[in-house]
Amino acid sequence: MRLVTPSRLVAVLALAAAAVSLTVALGVASAGTTHTAKQACVKGQALLERNKRNVVAYYETAFNDHNPRLAVRLYGGDQYIQHNPLAANGFDAFIAFVEGVTAAFPELHIDIRRVIAECDLVVTHGIASGIPPVYGQFNAKVVDIFRLDANGKIVEHWDVLAMQVDPATSANGNPEV
């Protein structure tokens, strides 16, 4: 059985771009330009918790509720910086991407298991499921990193996506996610 086929690669790349697109940024980075975004390092547990809530709500509204327009309206910053090389910068690109992915895979679901915040960054760790034609017994393990502005709005995004078999047992007895 081939683990990497063109259709799986396209789906992985599409899901990666979607997960990455969950971000909204403070500037548009393009070839030949330099981005010098002002950092918004929040101090205090209340603001860190606000940022975590905003990221989770943004992600779940866009992908699980299939409503990226609402996610951008409620949780997006002034502009969107995307670090996934397969996804374009900007809210319009994010909305189009999520609408395309959720139309193609209406059962897509992001199950966020962990959320960590420090300064102006929030990291989510979860599982993307609901793409049976591509993954079959596979799920994607997803780590997303979001940068937020001083108002708790998402302005930048990076991601890591891994596809592997969910083993029935593990040598250490611990789940992957």
What does the block give as tokens for 19? 């997960």
Q: What is the pLDDT of residue 126?
A: 93
The answer, yes or no, to whether residue 170 has pLDDT greater than 50, is yes
The string over 93-107, giving b where at least 16 C-beta atoms fall within 10 Å of a residue's C-beta and e elsewhere, is: ebbebbbebbeebee
Q: What is the pLDDT of residue 114?
A: 97
Residue from 129, 177, 162, 144 nearest 20 by CA:
144
Could you please state the CATH topology (level 3) that the domain comprising 6-30+41-165 is classified under.
Nuclear Transport Factor 2; Chain: A, (3.10.450)
Average pLDDT, the chain: 77
* pLDDT band, residue 161 (cuts 50/70/90): confident
The 10s digit of each residue's pLDDT in 12-30 is 444 444 443 333 332 333 3
* pLDDT band, residue 33 (cuts 50/70/90): very low
The 10s digit of each residue's pLDDT in 59-85 is 999 999 999 999 999 999 999 998 987
Residue from 75, 52, 81, 51 nearest 63 by CA:
75
Any idea where the domains of the chain sit in the sequence?
Answer: 6-30+41-165
